[in-house]
Amino acid sequence: MDFYKKQRLLFLLSFIAPFIQAQEVNMLNMLDSIAPQKVQYAYGTFKSTRVLNGHSNERMPEGQLDVRIEHRFGLINQGYYEFFGLDQSNTLLSMEYGIKNWVMVGLNRASLDKTVSGFTKFSIFRQSTGEIVMPVSVSFLLETSVIGTKWLYPERDNLFSSRVSYISQLIIARKFNENLSLQLAPVWIHRNLVPAIIDSNDMFALGIASRYKISRRTSFNVEYYPVLSPSWNHAASYRNSLSVGFDIETGGHVFQLLLSNTTGMIEKAFITETTGKWLNGDLHLGFNISRVFSLK
């Protein structure tokens, strides 16, 4: 190679060299970015803020509003004349908002007993691996509900406090893998007014829920709420709530189709006032529709 060719080659290489060095730096940066993060949090333990009737550990992200419509038809064992319950319905309208990623608030209005309820749900722990190992996600739910129907006995001195109930629930959930999530949620229900002296104003139940992913956008959910400390009236008259259903996610919507022995969609109703027996066919078809809007 003659001298001038070498000069030209060196000249060209002088331009290329920085790029080679830059490429090496960029590749180092890429290695850093794909290196394992210090803490890996579990996401999507459940697809929605509800498993079916009850709350899941999930919260709305900051600045996002969830508009929910929940619908429960009548009893399917009423036969064709009532079109297997589809001629009757109970509804719930709900708006839920994420104040921060770790806390959300919501407002519900249910047609059953014309109940209005407000709640807050916040995260205490998040399931994670890596530098911080937390085997479960833990959230806490606080809810106050007020019955809105007219007084059954208007002749007596009825108190507003008699309409009010309170719910406190600890929600413990674990995402075992991409397919399976389980949740335990002990709950305390307080009713300001109960029928008899022998009834307890406080009731305790345990929410047991599971989600099994059967396809990319569909999962099968089961939810059971056994009452652990039934009051005298409850033990004689009522049943534990058991619901099964499917989550179907489509873009910004989550559809939940379910079959349940309870009409209620608020904790005070479906935990303490369920009367349906599965073996009798006292079941209600129902669905939940959730649409998320981003307000930020």
Partner 1 sequence: MKNTGCFFVLILIIIGFSKCYYNNEETLYADLTNSCDTTNITFKAKVVPVLKEHCYKCHSNAVAADNGAGIRLEDYVDVKLRLNRVYGAITHQDNFLPMPKDMTTKIDTCQIKIIRIWMEAGGLDN
Report the interface residues with partner 1, using CB under 8 A.
Answer: 99-100, 102-103, 120, 122, 142, 144, 150, 153-157, 159, 161-162, 164, 166, 190, 192-197, 199, 201
Residue with tokens 């079959």: 259
Residue 231 beta carbon to partner 1: minimum distance, rounded to whole angstroms:
10
Residue 105 beta carbon to partner 1: minimum distance, rounded to whole angstroms:
8
Residue 120 beta carbon to partner 1: minimum distance, rounded to whole angstroms:
6
Residue 188 DSSP SS3: strand
Q: Which is nearer to partner 1, 196 or 295 (CB)?
A: 196
Q: Which is nearer to partner 1, 79 or 195 (CB)?
A: 195
Phi, psi of 49 (to 5 degrees): -75, -10
- Nearest-angstrom CA–CA distance, 190 and 182: 26
Q: Which is nearer to partner 1, 156 or 296 (CB)?
A: 156
Q: Which is nearer to partner 1, 26 or 201 (CB)?
A: 201
Residue 245 beta carbon to partner 1: minimum distance, rounded to whole angstroms:
30
| CA 25 to chain CA mean position, Å | 45
Residue 114 DSSP SS3: helix
- Nearest-angstrom CA–CA distance, 256 and 220: 10
Per the CB < 8 A criterion, the answer to whether 284 and 77 are in contact is no
Q: Two tokens at 7?
A: 């000069």
Q: Which is nearer to partner 1, 168 or 218 (CB)?
A: 168
Residue 143 beta carbon to partner 1: minimum distance, rounded to whole angstroms:
8
- Nearest-angstrom CA–CA distance, 130 and 165: 41
Residue with tokens 């007219």: 150
Q: Which is nearer to partner 1, 138 or 193 (CB)?
A: 193
Residue 204 beta carbon to partner 1: minimum distance, rounded to whole angstroms:
15
CA distances from 274 to 22, 35, 158, 227, 271 (A): 68, 51, 25, 11, 7
Per the CB < 8 A criterion, the answer to whether 146 and 269 are in contact is no
